[in-house]
Amino acid sequence: MEFGWWDKTPEDGKYQICVRVHGGNAVWTRKQGHHTSWEPYGPPTEADWDKLIYEANRRVPRRLISPKQFAEIEGLRNKPTLLPRVSKPGPTR
């Protein structure tokens, strides 16, 4: 499942947050601007978790996610957050 929203801070300006939930893990990334790549985001704040749970809760009545999936997302709040792997160039031959 993928959830996303826009956020704004005085230091960073406006940026997009994307949370991918799969296999009992939540991976948080962010992107600022149209032509920038996604970068790791974290650790998420309480407000970020509240927004994720709010977005997930909105999808339950429309049957986009099941109540069981929603309960799993709520349980992720107490788990450590995974940061996405950053690709590094390998050795050249």
pLDDT in tens, 29-87: 999 988 899 999 988 999 999 999 999 999 999 999 999 999 999 998 887 655 556 55
Peptide bond into 10 cis (omega under 30): no
Q: Of 23-27, 38-42, 75-79, 89-93, give the lowest mean pLDDT range.
A: 89-93
User: In the prediction, which pLDDT does 93 show?
Assistant: 57
Reported pTM: 0.78
